[in-house]
Structure 1
Amino acid sequence: MDFTIPDELRAFRETVRAFVDKELIPHEDYVEEYDGLPEEVEREIRRKAVAVGLNGLGMPDEVGGAGLDVLGQVLVTEELFRALGGVAEVVPATPRILLACVGEQRERYLLPCVRGDRQWCFALTEPDTGSDAAGIKTRAELCDGQWVINGRKRFISHGDSADFAIVFAVTHPDRERDRITAFLVDKGTPGFGVGQLHKTMGHRGYRQAELLFDDCAVPAENVLGEPGRGFDIAQGGLSAGRIMTAARCLGPMGRLIGDGVDWAKQRVQFGRPIADYQAIQFMLADCATDLHAARLLTYHAAWAADHGEPPKVVNAKASMAKLFASEALGRVADRVLQIFGGTGYMNETYVERAYRNARIERIWEGTSEIQRVIIASNLLKRGMFS
């Protein structure tokens, strides 16, 4: 396999790095203090992101996207998430699930998202269903040509500010398979409301909301894909989501290591920079090794997806990348905070913020335990990686 980066992608990556340094990182202190940015600032960031081509990274050219392959998206995502997630997530992104839009749906949902004009949220998780996503309890019944949705969703990113939600509900409870349907539900639809806004440990500004559906009626034309095939649509994006989660861990690791090296060179104890002490050198060496290994696993999973390896193989490689990168980020953040000592425990430092943010990466997009189940299943059933 060849991970040589084409010249045009290398140049784009440098553009993204400059954008992050100028347009995103300067807003981090505000986001940490106020748990979000003013609406006008978010609009300006989105406008500038679109101007440099950061919208619709993985979407095809024909819908206005950048048309990057998975490895290209990984490289750009790694750069974007050198900024704290609450700022980086302002940059418009479009889930590939919206490529299932047909007819008027494309004009109302897909194309505006690619342009950065509309914001979406992915409403699958419920209070009683996290890892067991197939066990959702939200129901939708067909009545007089409309689907009436009842239920509650939890921990929905951007749920309070999204223009529409991609909502998953059980429509055929008697079936063993093909039970769940995906719906496009606009903000302001009667019966659709926002409940509790959750205060989180990290990722300030990247808010998590509860969504409530009480006899929420949506027209039949708002079904995304086919009735009963919603879970297939959701699962179709899991591998890509896990690869991108791994990519989101690479940026913070690189920034943490850079900060750790700089601090170790300037921090003097017992008359010498702490970088002179082998204990600090070993911690930095372990951090660099974790980052390099995480990068190779992530790039390899992306390469496998781009080169058409079988879906089950890609799924397993995506799980390995997500598992290792998310846990490596936790290790790197912990070591670098230790290098900083008491200073690293102060909220105004990047390392303290990154330390808090890192913890969620082992939970969302499938917990570390779920990733291990997937990897072990592939090993036991197909002998992969042996």
Structure 2
Amino acid sequence: MHFALTEEQRMIVDTTRAFVEAELYPHEALVERTGHLPMELIREVQAKAMAAGLYAANMPEEVGGAGLDTLSWLLYERELGRANYALHWTCVARPSNILLAGTEAQRQKYLYPCLRGETWDCLAMTEPGAGSDLRGMQATARQDGGDWVLNGTKHFISHADIAGFTIAFMATGEEETPRGKKKKITAFFVDKGTPGFTVRDGYRNVSHRGYSNAILEFDDCRIPQENILGELHKGFDVANEWLGATRLQVAATCLGRAARALGHALSYAADRRQFGQQIGKFQGISFKLADMAMELKAAELLTWEAGWKFDQGSVTDADMAMAKLKATEVLAMVADEAIQIHGGMGLMDELPLERIWRDARVERIWEGTSEIQRHIISRELLRPLGA
């Protein structure tokens, strides 16, 4: 693995960072104050992102994306991650890679409009009674002639309010396994406006203001057979094949926010004077800075290595779990220490630190909790030993 960035990767980093600082930072205060991202602002920034070649950059060239390799994509995600989450995720959208699993007809209807910025997608897996245990989902789909009838509730569904459709994962049967019966899961495209499909306001979240979540209700929602994404009963397969790198995406955006927090801490430690000298010269502060930088570097190396291995075809679930776990926990530590270095000023909203601190909390929960990541890592360690 080469540690030096290529000229193209440096250009991606520089271009994305410049865009974030010029086009996203100025709107953070508005979104944080109101908890709302106006559609007119979304469209304004979206147009600029498209002009800069940053929109849907996660997608391959053959469908109109930037065709970035995984490591380059993660570098791009890190720079976007410096900004308010709602701003970078909505205005510089990266449609879910799972859309690539669709047929050509499904791509025409769902993928390409997302690439053109005409709509957004959302994934519906989590339920009130089934979070990490997706096999425990209660929402069902039953076949009725040539159609499928969906019933059940999903919640914590990100940006479903603006999405034109959802990809809903539903239980479509059961199968016997050595550990007993398990649900068979199938993924379905469900268009907003379909009778029996209702999108309701979700919960007020302390993290990521302006980035909404919703409750999705399916009440005898009838959809045609051609709305199945992938194969019947193979919802987990299509998710595992196309969504594996989302943990690395979370890791990368956390690295961006941690780097921003560390930057503020360094500047303050160099400028702030107490007892006749810069506070960065006090061991209590300088050791904090050293630990923050060291932990951030460790998280970066884990993430970049996993991204590189992803393209080599050698990445493991443990590689991605380690990156996600380390980056999210480092972000929490760096954000907290940055506030401690600033003292009371760190908690004021004149600085982004209190936001970064609040936003950090959700990262250890979504896309697999820290406990789930540790389970994945330990399972991979023990399996070769028959445990």
After TM superposition, the score normalised by the length of structure 2 is 0.95
SS in 2 for 1:202: coil
1:379 corresponds to which residue? 381
Q: Which shifted more, 260-269 or 276-285?
A: 260-269
**Residues 174 and 183 of structure 2 are in contact (CA less than 8 Å); yes or no, is this contact kept in structure 1?**
no
Per the alignment, residue 96 of structure 1 pairs with: 97
After TM superposition, the structure 1 = structure 2 runs for residues 117-266 of structure 1, keeping only pairs within 5 Å, are 117-174=118-175, 176=181, 179-266=184-271
Q: What is the deviation of 1:196?
A: 3.4
Equivalent position of 1:61 in the other structure: 61
Cα distance in 2 for partners of 1:137, 1:303 equals 37
| Contact 1:195 1:211 survives alignment (8 Å) | yes
Aligned AA for 2:15?
T
User: Per the alignment, in what secondary structure is the counterpart of residue 200 of structure 1?
Assistant: coil
> Counterpart of 2:323 in structure 1: which amino acid?
A
Q: Which moved more, 1:37-46 or 1:267-276?
A: 267-276
Decide whether the 8 Å contact of 2:95 with 2:114 is kept in 1. yes
Equivalent-residue separation in structure 1 for 2:58 and 2:182 (angstroms): 29
Tell whether the 8 Å contact from 1:260 to 1:336 is kept in structure 2 after alignment.
yes
**Equivalent residues of 1:81, 1:252 under 8 A apart:** yes
Q: 1:42 to 1:26 in 2, by over 3 A?
A: same
Alignment of 1:257-276 (within 5 A): 257-276=262-281
- Secondary structure, counterpart of 1:171 in structure 2: strand
Secondary structure, counterpart of 1:173 in structure 2: strand
Q: Structure 2: how far apart are the matches of 1:42 and 1:316?
A: 36
Give the deviation of 1:86 after TM superposition.
2.0
- The equivalent residue for 2:325 is 323
Map 1:323-362; keep pairs closer than 5 Å: 323-362=325-364
- The SS at the match of 1:318 is helix
- Kept in 2: contact 1:191–1:216 (CA 8 A): yes
CA distance in 2, matches of 1:255, 1:140: 45
What is residue 370 of structure 2 aligned with on the other side? 368
Separation in structure 1 between the aligned mates of residue 42 and residue 222 of structure 2, nearest angstrom? 31
Counterparts in 2 of 1:281-320, with a 5 A limit? 281-309=286-314, 313-320=315-322
Deviation of the 1:4 alpha carbon: 2.7
Report if aligned partners of 1:78, 1:247 keep a CA contact under 8 Å in 2. yes
Secondary structure of residue in 2 paired with 1:66: coil
Aligned equivalents of 2:17 and 2:114: distance in 1? 23
Q: Structure 2 CA distance, aligned partners of 1:205 and 1:89?
A: 10
SS at match of 1:376: helix
The whole-number CA distance in structure 1 between the counterparts of 2:144 and 2:290 is 62
Q: CA deviation at 1:74?
A: 0.5
CA contact (8 A) 1:178 1:230 kept: no
Q: Distance in 1 between matches of 2:106 and 2:138?
A: 26
The alpha-carbon deviation at position 178 of structure 1 amounts to 7.2
Q: Could you tell me which amino acid in structure 2 is paired with residue 144 of structure 1?
A: G
Cα 1:276–1:4 change in 2 (3 A) is closer
Are the aligned partners of 1:49 and 1:92 in contact in 2 as well (CA < 8 Å)? Answer: no
SS for the counterpart of 1:198 is: coil
Equivalent in the alignment of 2:24: 24
- What do residues 288-337 of structure 1 show as CA deviations (whole Å, max 9, x unaligned)? 0011000000000001101111xxx5211000000111101111011101
**Kept in 1: contact 2:174–2:182 (CA 8 A):** no
Structure 2 SS opposite 1:179: strand
Indicate conservation of the 8 Å contact 1:83/1:252, yes or no.
yes
CA deviations on 1:134-183 (whole Å, 9 max, x unpaired) are 21111111113111110100101001111110100011235656711101
| CA positional deviation for 1:103 | 2.8
In structure 2, C-alpha distance between the alignment counterparts of 1:272 and 1:192, rounded to whole Å: 63
Deviation at 1:343, TM superposition (A): 0.6
What is the rounded CA distance, in whole Å, between the counterparts of 1:370 and 1:87 in structure 2? 28
Give the aligned residue type for 1:14: D
| Alpha-carbon distance in 1 for matches of 2:3, 2:214 | 39
Q: In 1, are the aligned partners of 2:188 and 2:227 still within 8 Å (CA)?
A: yes
Range with bigger deviation, 204-213 or 229-238: 229-238
Cα distance between partner residues in 1 of 2:144 and 2:190: 16
Which residue of 2 is the match for residue 5 of structure 1? Answer: 5
TM-score by length of 1: 0.95
Gaps of 5+ in 2: none
Give 1:58 deviation, angstroms. Answer: 2.7
Distance 2:350 2:153 in 1: 36
Q: Number of matched residues?
A: 380
Secondary structure of the 2:173 match is coil
Contact 2:175 2:183 in 1 (8 A): no
Contact 2:135 2:183 in 1 (8 A): no
Q: Over residues 228-276 of structure 1, what are the superposed CA-to-partner deviations in whole Å (9 max), with x where a residue is unaligned? A: 1111112224430111111011001110011001111222222222112
CA distance in 1, matches of 2:146, 2:152: 20
* Contact 1:147–1:217 under 8 Å retained in 2: yes
